[in-house]
A and B are shown apart, each in its own frame.
Chain A
Amino acid sequence: MNGFQTTKRRGGVPSPSSSNRLTMRKPSAYAVMILPALILFFSFHTLPVLQGIFYSFTDYRGFGDWNFVGFQNYISIFNDSRAYNAYFFTFQFAIVSTVLVNIISLIIALGLNAKIKFHKTLRAVYFMPNILSILIVGFIFNFIFAVYIPGIADSLGITALTTSILGSRDYAWIAIVIVAVWQAAAFNTILYLAGLSTISQDLYEASSLDGANKWQEFWKITFPLIAPFFTINMVLAMKNFLMVFDHIVAMTGGGPGRATQSISLLIYQDGFAGGQFALQSANAVIYFVIIVTVSIFQIRILQKREVQM
């Protein structure tokens, strides 16, 4: 690029020193391009994060006076059964959903990648849940679980299913897993499909000449080659599921009791309406640290496996 600058005509003589001055002054346009975004990003993203961390060391209620209380909020969170409950539920939900979504989407993707008829239409149908509002989908499933399934069970005489699963402390989380998997499988399927399409057909032809069966073919060729996609899918799915909110609002509102209250929902409900601004800020900080740790941990582990394969 310096080759171009010596031919610069501005300012008459194209000496090296004048071109240097031009390049020194030019980047200011870049700075002007970034500056407004930087100010806005700091004010509306970084500043609230810092405020959240700051208030987690106070007894602020969201308004009025406040005092520093040191690590009191953090100690309270560690002794709070509601917080434990929310973390347990969220992790149970996220781990089960992540595993299920990845198995199901990989199977669908393998199917869509085969020589099938109606390929475009089928792909479009399987991807459709991704474009729908999770909240509204949740309301629809709410009806299915609360009215439709008990109705069917009733007419078939299956008494175990005549009461809504959403009203069960022990099983309501399963209903939320089902909605979450229904919705998230769409996105993960498309990603796996993109991964599968990068695999050359020659590899399969070679392996079938060597007498490999379909099962060996999958574990020896397909899976190792889509390992990077497996990593992305696991990390993204886990991260999204740990932030679960809309599904629960639409299905159970966190209930029965607090049986399906996720971390986000706890922060929302008790932070705004419950007057626990400071306490839930501390909770949010812990949550933040956990999400980052889990993501890094997953990337490390999964990348190691990729290399080994």
Chain B
Amino acid sequence: MESKRYNWPVTILLIFGTIFILFPLYITVVNAFKTPQETAQSILALPSSFNIDNFLRAIEMTNFFNALGNSLYVTLLTVVLTVLSNSLVAYAIARNMHKKTYRVLFYYFVSAMFVPFPIIMLPIVNQMSAIGLMNLNGLVLLYIVYGLAFNVFLYTGYIKTIPKELEEAAIVDGCSRWGVFWRIIFPILAPINATVAILTALWAWNDFLLPLVILGDRADHTLPLVQYVFQSQFGTNYNLAFSSYLMALLPMLLLYIFLQRWIISGVTQGAIKS
């Protein structure tokens, strides 16, 4: 801590490098406020006024609040149910890894990480439509189930490090196995729950392929899917398109600005454990 000398050349190079990261966002923000004439004159210039007409039109055209509601519904429900259910499954596996059946189950779930989605894609659409689940709830169900592969892996690694003595003492005191999980284990899992919640939220919020094949009804479309569907209707009105993109990106960006420390460490933890 004694040497307070910063490495300025590296700092400056890194600041310079952020131009490449921020440039696409800059283009999005400034052009979302401009008229097509202003953009035709200069793509990079700041807008002459903060005109929100593009946003109002995009909100109306894409039914933005409906899509936002769908995305929020899917993401929140998926995150809550994934954390509750996947941790429970992993607990049961982690505490029985000495038994062959549970070890086989562990590898069964985890090996699904290597299965690329396209092999599932064609049959799952038929299957979901046969049972009438081509909707938001069906989508949530699939996220929870597909999340098991990675989350069981993540959770079991963590649960193995929790000493069993605590649980055994509670069992002796007459607590059931379920009680042990919800009252003792689940609260201890808080850090890894946060990691799973962050990874799941990013996945469910930004995912495009699964909503594309599962959501039939237009009223069910999520934010990324709406951008895709309206791409041709935006046509060459890039300003309208940019205001729509910006509104779709904004919720996650705002969340990131406030929670970036937790989001970065959550994603890092998730990756390192693998």
- Same complex origin of A and B: yes
- Closest beta carbon of chain B to A110's beta carbon, Å: 8
Interface string of A33-46 (1 = CB under 8 A from B): 11001101100111
A78 within 8 A of B: no
Q: Interface code A229-245, partner B: CB below 8 Å = 1, 0 otherwise?
A: 00010001000001101
Q: Which of B15, B20, B249 contacts A118 (CB 8 A)?
A: B15
Would you give the shortest CB distance from A164 to chain B, in whole angstroms?
13
Which residue of B has the minimal Cβ distance to A286?
A: B119
Contact of A41 among B13, B91, B148, B177 (CB under 8 A): B148
Question: Is the C-beta of B146 less than 8 angstroms from some C-beta in chain A?
Answer: yes
Q: A44-B142, A48-B120, A190-B264 are in contact. Are A132 and B7 (CB under 8 A)?
A: no
Q: What is the bound-complex CA distance between A7 and B172, given in angstroms?
A: 8
If over half of A's interface residues share one DSSP class (helix, strand or loop), that class is named, otherwise mixed; here it is: helix
- Establish whether residues A144 and B27, one from each chain, have CB atoms under 8 Å apart when the complex forms: yes
- The reply to whether the CB of B105 lies closer than 8 angstroms to some CB of chain A is yes
Given contacts A34-B93, A45-B146, A52-B120, contact A249 B18 (CB under 8 A): no
Question: Does B253 sit within 8 A of A, measured CB to CB?
Answer: yes
B187 within 8 A of partner (CB)? no
With both chains docked as a complex, state the minimum distance between the C-beta of A174 and any C-beta of chain B, in angstroms: 16
Given A111-B10, A232-B271, decide whether A30 and B21 contact each other with a Cβ distance below 8 A.
Answer: no
In the complex, chain B residues whose CB is within 8 Å of the CB of A7 = 172
> Which of chain A's residues 137-176 have a Cβ closer than 8 Å to chain B?
137, 139-141, 143-144, 147-148, 151
- Complex CA–CA separation, A118 to B24 (angstroms): 22
Question: Is residue B132 within 8 Å, beta carbon to beta carbon, of the partner chain?
Answer: no
Contact partners of A126 in chain B: CB under 8 A: 14, 17-18, 21
B45 within 8 A of A: no
Whether, in the assembled complex, B61 has its beta carbon less than 8 Å from a beta carbon of chain A, the answer is: no
Within B176-226, the residues touching A (CB, 8 Å) are 176-178, 181, 202, 205-206, 208-209, 213, 223-224
Instruction: Give the total of A residues in contact with B, Cβ under 8 Å.
Output: 92
Say yes or no for B109: interface residue by CB 8 A criterion.
yes
Are A292 and B114 within 8 A (Cβ)?
Answer: yes
Knowing A10-B174, A34-B105 touch, does A285 contact B119 (C-beta < 8 A)? yes
Contact A40 to B141, CB < 8 A, known contacts A30-B92, A108-B14: yes
Q: Which residues of B contact A (CB under 8 A)?
A: 3, 5-8, 10-11, 13-15, 17-18, 20-22, 24, 27-28, 43, 85-86, 88-89, 91-93, 95-96, 102, 105, 109, 112, 114-127, 141-142, 144-146, 148-149, 164-165, 168-169, 171-172, 174, 176-178, 181, 202, 205-206, 208-209, 213, 223-224, 227-228, 231, 238, 241-242, 245, 248-249, 252-253, 256, 260-261, 263-264, 267-268, 271-272, 274
Q: A117-B11, A268-B118 are in contact. List 17 more A-B contacts (CB 8 A).
A: A27-B96, A33-B178, A37-B86, A37-B89, A116-B10, A120-B261, A125-B21, A127-B267, A137-B24, A139-B227, A139-B231, A139-B241, A140-B28, A140-B242, A143-B27, A143-B238, A263-B118
